[in-house]
């Protein structure tokens, strides 16, 4: 295993899990540490009577744990990986327990090309029942938005949390989890900044455009239908072989989102031959703590199936990704203006696009009265998220000159850096201790 400690820590979904993972990365805290069939596994005590069973299948770094954490990977997976990376001699060879043997066999066959749409993702055409359920929820959302505008925005800062939460819960019932998340985020906009009404109206307009799109869904071309499905949180599938991209992939960054009862894992990959960025989406089954860890700066060879859309970004695995040693050199934007121009083209093709990847060269952070921003060599800027905690870290690396290469996501309002290139290595930013 040639992953670094920083790469493993970068898999942590948050700082609490990161610290907890470091806390259990001690052999003495485990009842057993073993390896067999390309798998490292262990038993960790959580009480005097109960233990959890944790395992990592090393060929593709798939993991499973019997704990009840909603965070994936959990502290036990992180601790086990750290121990395997730092002290593999502590793991004794022992046959896998029966349950783990079954899991390993399933993992070996789970990601074969014939099972790319392995039941975890909605089909290309949603069932009439599911569509009717969604339309009913969207009709209520439309009335809610019209009522909001009719009564004016001035009173919104005084609205209770239930005003937003009730509508969001209704959208969860309609299986529109991403729209529910958007409605909850709307609650944070009133009074957040001087121009908050303009920002809120932009979001209302986007929601209303989605509603109008689904009301005319049958008349729209397939790529636009796919854009709409993605906008509400569905992942449309395709059997078009032209959408299968085989390549050597470099992991540029990772994100994790809690959407309804599911945890959505997003891995941003750069393809050496295709010269494209793909948004690999993993949705572990509800109620299970399983997944496959692709660490930032790791290299993989294999195929992805692009999800349909007017500006395709999303992808799912087509067969298993294998670790690779082939060098991959990602190409980014030399100026923020060039990146913004491409984003405008993407938005013109898909007006519901909410996350656009940007690999930016020649940048540096700058602090203003309103917060941190990112500058390029021409002086063009992008605002960083409010209360951004890593501005001073990036400023120290940049050395007061536009020297940073950053990978991040632009949401139309803020640029969220995910990784920075230091000495030809992409490193996760979120594992740093933030400075307010």
Q: Distance (Å, rounded) from C-alpha 76 to C-alpha 72?
A: 10
Q: Which is nearest to 56 in space by CA: 290, 347, 250, 301? A: 290
If you ran DSSP here, which 8-state letter would residue 352 be given?
A: T
Q: What pLDDT shows up at residue 114? A: 41
Q: What pLDDT shows up at residue 272? A: 93
Q: What pLDDT shows up at residue 365? A: 97
Asked if residues 390 and 396 have their Cβ atoms less than 8 Å apart, the reply is: no
How does strand 92-93 pair with strand 32-36?
parallel
Determine the Cα angle at 103 with ends 99 and 106, to 5°.
140
Q: Which is nearest to 351 in space by CA: 257, 230, 234, 256? A: 230
Residue 69, CA atoms < 13 Å, CB-side half-sphere: 25
Q: Distance (Å, rounded) from C-alpha 392 to C-alpha 434?
A: 9
Asked if residues 241 and 230 have their Cβ atoms less than 8 Å apart, the reply is: no
Report residue 32: phi and psi, to 5°. -150, 145
Q: Distance (Å, rounded) from C-alpha 415 to C-alpha 430?
A: 14
For residue 78, give both structure tokens. Answer: 């992180």
Taking each helix axis from N to C end, the angle separating 177-186 and 222-232, rounded to the nearest 10 degrees, works out to 60
Q: Is 384 left (phi over 0), alpha (psi -120 to 50) or beta?
A: beta
For residue 286, give both structure tokens. Answer: 């509800």
Asked if residues 297 and 425 have their Cβ atoms less than 8 Å apart, the reply is: yes
Q: What pLDDT shows up at residue 119? A: 38
Q: Which is nearest to 41 in space by CA: 121, 98, 2, 126? A: 98
Q: Which is nearest to 5 in space by CA: 91, 79, 60, 90? A: 79
Instruction: Report the SS3 class of residue 50.
Output: coil
> In the β-sheet with 290-292, what is the strand arrangement from edge to edge?
92-93, 32-36, 39-45, 51-57, 62-65, 290-292
For residue 118, give both structure tokens. Answer: 């392995």
Residue 28, CA atoms < 13 Å, CB-side half-sphere: 1
Q: Distance (Å, rounded) from C-alpha 224 to C-alpha 86?
A: 49
In angstroms, how far is CA 255 from the centroid of its own chain?
A: 3
Residue with tokens 């069973």: 53
For residue 340, give both structure tokens. Answer: 């913004």
Q: Any residues with CB less than 8 A from the CB of 117 and at least 6 apart, and which?
A: 123, 237, 316
Q: What is the pLDDT along the chain (436 residues), one digit of tens a residue?
A: 678 899 999 999 888 999 999 999 999 999 999 999 899 999 999 988 899 999 999 888 889 999 988 788 999 999 999 999 999 999 999 999 998 999 988 887 755 544 444 434 444 567 889 999 999 999 999 999 999 999 999 999 999 999 999 999 999 999 999 999 999 999 989 977 788 999 999 999 999 999 999 999 999 999 999 999 999 988 887 666 668 999 999 999 999 887 766 778 899 999 999 999 999 988 766 555 667 779 999 999 999 999 999 999 999 888 888 888 887 889 999 999 999 999 999 999 999 999 999 999 999 999 998 899 999 999 999 999 989 999 999 999 999 999 999 999 999 989 999 999 999 999 999 998 877 6
For residue 308, give both structure tokens. Answer: 């349909």
User: C-alpha distances in angstroms, 84 versus 38, 74, 269, 309?
Assistant: 12, 16, 25, 41
């Amino acid at each position: 295993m040639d992953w670094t400690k920083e790469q493993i820590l970068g898999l942590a979904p948050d700082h609490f899990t990161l610290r907890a993972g470091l806390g259990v990365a001690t052999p003495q805290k485990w009842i057993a540490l073993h390896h067999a069939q390309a798998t490292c596994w262990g038993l960790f005590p959580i009480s005097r009577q109960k233990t959890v069973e944790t395992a990592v299948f090393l060929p593709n770094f798939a993991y499973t744990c019997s704990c009840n954490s909603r965070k994936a990977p959990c502290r036990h997976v992180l601790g086990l990986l750290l121990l395997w990376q730092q002290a593999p001699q502590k793991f004794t060879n022992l046959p896998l327990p029966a349950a783990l043997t079954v899991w390993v066999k399933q993992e070996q066959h789970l990601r074969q090309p014939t099972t790319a749409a392995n039941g975890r993702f909605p089909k290309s055409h949603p069932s009439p029942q599911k569509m009717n359920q969604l339309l009913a929820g969207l009709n209520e959302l439309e009335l809610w938005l019209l009522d909001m505008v009719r009564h004016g925005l001035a009173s919104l800062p005084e609205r209770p949390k239930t005003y937003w939460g009730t509508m969001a819960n209704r959208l969860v019932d309609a299986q529109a989890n991403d729209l529910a998340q958007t409605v909850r985020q709307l609650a944070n906009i009133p009074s957040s900044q001087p121009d908050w009404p303009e920002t809120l109206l932009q979001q209302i307009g986007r929601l209303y455009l989605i509603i109008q799109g689904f009301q005319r869904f049958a008349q729209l071309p397939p790529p636009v239908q796919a854009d709409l499905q993605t906008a509400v949180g569905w992942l449309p599938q395709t059997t078009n072989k032209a959408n299968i991209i085989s390549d050597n992939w470099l992991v540029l960054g990772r994100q994790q989102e809690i959407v309804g009862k599911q945890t959505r894992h997003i891995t941003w990959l750069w393809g050496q031959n295709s010269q494209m960025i793909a948004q690999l989406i993993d949705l572990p089954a509800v109620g299970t703590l399983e997944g496959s860890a692709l660490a930032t700066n790791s290299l993989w060879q294999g195929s992805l199936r692009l999800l349909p859309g007017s500006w395709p970004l999303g992808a799912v695995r087509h067969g298993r990704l294998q670790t690779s040693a082939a060098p991959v050199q990602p190409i980014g934007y030399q100026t923020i203006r060039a990146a913004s121009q491409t984003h405008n083209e993407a938005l013109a093709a898909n007006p519901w696009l909410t996350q656009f990847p940007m690999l930016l060269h020649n940048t540096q952070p700058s602090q203003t009265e309103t917060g941190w921003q990112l500058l390029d060599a021409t002086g063009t800027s992008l605002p960083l998220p409010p209360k951004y905690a890593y501005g001073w870290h990036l400023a120290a690396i940049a050395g007061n000159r536009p020297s940073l290469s950053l990978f991040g996501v632009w949401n139309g309002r803020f640029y969220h850096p995910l990784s920075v290139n230091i000495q030809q290595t992409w490193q996760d930013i979120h594992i740093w201790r933030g400075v307010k």
